[in-house]
Amino acid sequence: MTVGWFAFLFQIAYALAAIGLGLYGVHALWLTLRLHRPLYPALSSRLPTDPPANNLPSVTVQLPIYNERHVVIRLLDACARFDYPSDRLQIQLLDDSTDQTTSLLQRHVEEWQHRMVNVQLIHRDQRAGFKAGALRDGLATATGEFIAIFDADFEPPTDFLARTIPHFLGEESSDIGFVQARWGHLNRDYSVLTNCQALALDGHFVVEQAARQSAGYPFGFNGSGGVWRRACIEDPAVGGWQADTLCEDLDLSYRAQLAGWQPLFLPDLTAPAEIPPQLLGFKRQQFRWAKGSVQTLKKLGGAVWASGWSLPARLAGLFHLGNYLIHPLLLLLLLITPCLLLLGVDPFGPLAWLSLASVGPPLLYAVAQRRLSKRHWLRRFAYLPLLTLLGMGLCLNNSLAVWQALTNRAGPFLRTPKFSVEDRTDSWRESSYALALDPLVLGEALLALYGLGAVFLAAAQGKWWSVPFLLLYTAGFGLMVGMGVGQSLRLWGKRKDHTARFRAADLVKSQGR
Positions marked active-site: 96, 249
DSSP-assigned letter for residue 154: B
**Phi, psi of 106, rounded to the nearest 5 degrees:** -55, -45
The angle subtended at Cα 375 by Cα 371 and Cα 376, nearest 5°, is 85
Q: Cα 139 from chain centroid? A: 24
Report the relative pairing of strands 176-185 and 119-123 from DSSP bridges. Answer: unpaired
Q: Which residues contact 492 (CB under 8 A, 6 or more apart)?
A: none
CA distance 61 to 279: 30
Secondary structure percentages of the chain, helix, strand, coil, to 5 = 60, 10, 30
Separation of alpha carbons 396 and 325, rounded Å: 12
Residues in the chain: 513
* Cβ-contact 481, 445 below 8 angstroms: yes
Cα distance between residue 226 and residue 161, in whole Å: 9
Q: Is 97 in contact with 123 (CB distance < 8 Å)? A: yes
Burial class of residue 471, CB neighbours in 10 A (0-12, 13-18, 19+) = middle
* CA-based nearest residue to 323, from 294, 285, 292, 348: 294
CA distances (Å), origin 124, targets 5, 100, 131, 417? 58, 14, 11, 19
Classify burial at 346, counting beta carbons within 10 Å of its beta carbon; exposed 0-12, middle 13-18, buried 19 or more. Answer: middle
> What residues contact residue 486 under an 8 Å CB cut-off, 6+ apart?
none
Q: State the Cα–Cα distance between residues 301 and 307, nearest whole angstrom.
A: 10
Beta carbons within 10 angstroms of residue 326's beta carbon: 23
Q: How would you class 333 by CB atoms within 10 Å of its CB: exposed for 0-12, middle for 13-18, buried for 19 or more?
A: buried
Q: 296, 245 in Cβ contact below 8 A?
A: yes
Give the separation between CA 79 and CA 91, rounded to whole angstroms. Answer: 8
Distance CA 361, CA 294 (A): 21
